[in-house]
Structure formats: structure tokens, C-alpha cells
């Protein structure tokens, strides 16, 4: 059996009503925090007011900024980190989906380190993160079941100038506290439930088909795939079903813990550049690439890919293991179609003349993911996968 390490240093509060326990923890974070969230939705649902009230009850001041855009930008991060310094904030709260949580992480990093966030992205002068001093404590309150950011050390930032969408990762970016309360998810609209749910499926799938998978991440990943298959369809039908929402939220948590200890592969590696150039919903970029990626890579590990085919519900009766593995892309596409996530990269705004740039971006900004795919990939392979996904 292979050797491996694992660590998830985040205190996770999981379950219905868990938001109320925030007040038991905030006092330990300091006196003043900056809460970042998206425009208006947290205010509309009343969740923002609840968090502010919980802050008051625990004796801390919470400054609110509702300016996080989907795919948060480096300009926003740089601006908010100056505010955090000026206000003397002790901690950050990211409230909402992946974007506010990722923004909170990047702001917390920059609040106590030199430079601008671009310095820490691939190509920047601190890209190796070797001299990072740490980050302010981060509280992640997730209101979607997707991204897994609440249990990872990753933050994804879009550079508006270069249109690149790289992820940064550092141990200090693990949230100190994460709250995963399915009650906060019942108002999530169907299209976001779909794109985030699909993201969970890909986190789990990719963690299973990467070179750095471990027995622990396999366990998390396979359970997460099973939970998504069994529950996401029902949540899409009826978003108010709390029990089913809880199951998908748990799948998201498991898949997040899987990717942080294993990795995503080239599907995320190639999906991020699409997000950077077209601002498409993150999960749908993976949905558009998944089949072509599996078709291209299935012979990198016949055992794992044939398992995936079967777990995705494809009947391999009468097929050899290799034939079964070759059906993994088709099996995945059937699942995506069933959820209503049939999409091409053309639908997301990708034109054929963008493909070379996207393929190069994938290796430049997401090289880590590209490198741990079970089949070695080069720029030509990436171009071929993008072309098959048009």
C-alpha cells in the first residue's frame, strides 16, 4: 500500500441550523472582521443580517462588503486587502459560494504579506509562496454545495488583464472555521444548484483519476460520487428538500477534502482558462470538457477508468475491462445529460481561434493539475480535447 499524509486543519460545523453556533467561535477570532459576500443575495435571504447579529452577540464588529463578483478579480482582492489593513481587521469571513470564500482567503493572505495578489499567482515574483508569512484567520460560511472551498487551502482568482484564472494554494489558506448549513442552501436557484453540483461531481471524479490519489481520498471521492448520483437530481427537482440538500452538501465536503489531499486533473486544468476568458459558471466548464477528457485519457489507467464507468451507472456486462474503461466518457455524459448539464464549450462562448491560447493557459496557470492526470498530456492533447468539446 502506498504511503501518504493527510491533514484537514479546519474546524467544520456541518448540519441544519449550525450557523447559529457561529457566535460561539467569533470571539476567539479577534475584535473586528471583514465579511465579503456577493451582491444582494445574502441580504435578500436574510442570512447576512443573521451573521451580523451573531457577530454582535459574540462582541465582535463585522464590516461588510457586498462587492464579490462571480470569479473574483485581482483588482478586488488588492483593493479589499488595503481596507483590511486600514481598518485593522483581525479576521475575514467569506459568506456565500466559492467566490466569496476564495476572495476572503486571498484578501487574508495579502493583508499580512507584501505586494499585490498578482505577485502570488503563476508568473508573479512570489509565485512559489516560499516567503508567505501566513494569513489572517478565515471563516468560511458556504451557501452552495460546490467548490469545496470551505475545506480547502485553494483560492481561485481571475486576472482581468490577462484573463487567466489560476488557483493559489497554501496551508495558511485553510479556513479556521467552516460552517456548512444546508438550511442556507434551500434558496439557491436551480441553475446554480446545477453548476455547483456538477463541480462536486468533477472534484470527486478527478480526485479518483489522478496520480496522487490515496486510499483515503479514494474513499472520500467514491462516496461523494455516489451521493451526487443519488441526490442531485432530486435537489434539482425540489430545492427545498433539506435531507437531499444535506446529502449533496456532504458530498461537496467529502469531494473538497479529496481534492485538497489528492488533486483535480486536466478537466479543471482546462476548465479554468475557459472561465477566465468567458466568465462562464465554473461547473459548466467542466461539464463541457468531461467526456472528451475521459475519451482521451482512459487508457492511462484501465482499472480506475473502468471503475468510474461502472460507478457512473454504465452496464459493462460482456465488455472487457479496457472496453469498459473506454466507455467512461459516455457514462459521464449520460449522467450530465440526466441532470440537464449538456453543454459544449461553444455554448460557453469559446471560439475555435481561442483554443491555442486556452491550451497554453492551462499548462501555464494550472500546470499542477495538468501534471497529475493519469495519462501524460501536452499542449497538443489539450488542443484536441478542446476541439472535441466545441
> Which residues in this chain contact Fe ion in the complex, by CB under 5 A?
199
Beta-carbon contacts of residue 185 (< 8 Å; ≥ 6 apart)? 143, 144, 145, 193, 239, 245, 249
Smaller CB separation from Fe ion, 199 or 295:
199
| Gyration radius of the chain over CA positions | 20
Nearest distance from C-beta of residue 264 to Fe ion, angstroms: 7
Distance CA 109, CA 96 (A): 19
C-alpha cell at 16: 441544519
Name the β-bridge partners of 237.
Answer: none
Asked if residues 13 and 177 have their Cβ atoms less than 8 Å apart, the reply is yes
Smaller CB separation from Fe ion, 84 or 369:
369
Question: CB atoms < 10 A from the CB of 264, how many?
Answer: 30
Smaller CB separation from Fe ion, 62 or 151:
151
Distance CA 154, CA 259 (A): 10
Nearest distance from C-beta of residue 198 to Fe ion, angstroms: 9
Q: Residue of minimal CB distance from Fe ion?
A: 199
C-alpha cell at 130: 516560499
Nearest distance from C-beta of residue 203 to Fe ion, angstroms: 6
Of 339, 289, 99, 304, the closest CA to residue 207 belongs to 304
Of 264, 236, 111, 257, the closest CA to residue 178 belongs to 257
Smaller CB separation from Fe ion, 178 or 306:
178
Smaller CB separation from Fe ion, 155 or 306:
155
Smaller CB separation from Fe ion, 181 or 199:
199
Nearest distance from C-beta of residue 147 to Fe ion, angstroms: 6
Nearest distance from C-beta of residue 140 to Fe ion, angstroms: 15
Distance CA 279, CA 102 (A): 16
Nearest distance from C-beta of residue 268 to Fe ion, angstroms: 6
Amino acid at each position: 500500500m502506498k504511503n501518504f499524509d493527510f491533514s484537514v486543519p479546519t474546524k467544520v460545523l456541518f448540519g441544519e441550523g449550525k450557523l447559529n453556533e457561529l457566535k460561539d467561535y467569533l470571539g476567539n477570532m479577534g475584535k473586528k472582521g471583514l465579511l465579503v459576500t456577493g451582491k444582494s443575495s445574502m441580504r435578500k435571504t436574510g442570512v447576512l443580517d443573521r451573521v451580523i447579529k451573531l457577530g454582535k452577540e459574540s462582541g465582535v464588529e463585522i464590516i461588510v462588503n457586498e462587492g464579490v463578483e462571480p470569479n473574483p478579480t485581482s483588482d478586488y482582492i488588492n483593493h479589499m486587502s488595503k481596507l483590511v489593513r486600514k481598518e485593522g481587521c483581525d479576521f475575514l469571513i467569506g459568506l456565500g459560494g466559492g467566490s466569496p470564500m476564495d476572495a476572503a482567503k486571498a484578501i487574508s493572505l495579502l493583508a499580512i504579506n507584501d505586494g499585490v495578489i498578482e505577485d502570488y499567482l503563476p508568473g508573479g515574483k512570489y509565485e512559489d509562496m516560499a516567503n508567505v508569512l501566513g494569513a489572517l484567520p478565515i471563516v468560511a460560511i458556504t451557501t452552495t454545495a460546490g467548490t469545496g472551498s470551505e475545506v480547502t487551502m485553494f483560492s481561485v482568482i481571475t486576472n482581468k488583464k490577462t484573463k487567466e484564472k489560476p488557483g493559489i494554494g497554501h496551508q495558511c489558506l485553510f479556513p479556521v472555521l467552516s460552517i456548512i448549513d444546508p438550511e442556507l442552501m434551500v434558496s439557491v436557484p436551480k441553475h446554480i444548484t446545477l453548476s455547483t453540483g456538477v463541480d462536486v461531481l468533477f472534484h470527486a471524479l478527478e480526485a479518483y483519476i489522478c496520480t496522487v490519489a490515496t486510499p483515503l481520498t479514494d474513499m472520500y471521492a467514491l462516496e461523494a460520487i455516489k451521493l451526487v448520483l443519488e441526490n442531485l437530481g432530486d435537489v434539482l427537482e425540489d430545492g427545498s428538500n433539506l435531507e437531499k440538500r444535506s446529502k449533496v452538501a456532504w458530498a461537496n465536503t467529502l469531494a473538497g477534502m479529496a481534492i485538497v489531499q489528492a488533486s483535480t486533473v486536466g478537466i479543471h486544468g482546462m476548465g479554468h482558462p475557459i472561465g477566465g476568458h468567458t466568465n462562464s459558471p465554473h461547473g459548466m466548464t467542466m461539464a463541457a470538457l468531461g467526456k472528451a477528457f475521459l475519451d482521451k485519457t482512459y487508457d492511462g489507467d484501465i482499472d480506475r477508468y473502468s471503475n468510474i464507468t461502472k460507478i457512473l451507472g454504465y452496464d459493462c456486462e460482456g465488455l472487457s475491462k479496457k472496453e469498459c474503461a473506454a466507455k467512461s466518457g459516455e457514462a459521464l455524459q449520460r449522467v450530465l445529460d440526466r441532470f440537464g448539464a449538456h453543454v459544449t464549450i461553444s455554448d460557453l462562448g469559446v471560439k475555435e481561434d481561442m483554443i491555442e491560447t486556452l491550451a497554453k493557459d492551462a499548462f501555464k496557470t494550472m500546470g499542477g493539475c495538468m501534471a497529475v492526470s493519469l495519462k501524460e498530456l501536452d499542449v497538443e492533447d489539450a488542443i484536441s480535447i478542446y476541439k472535441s468539446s466545441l
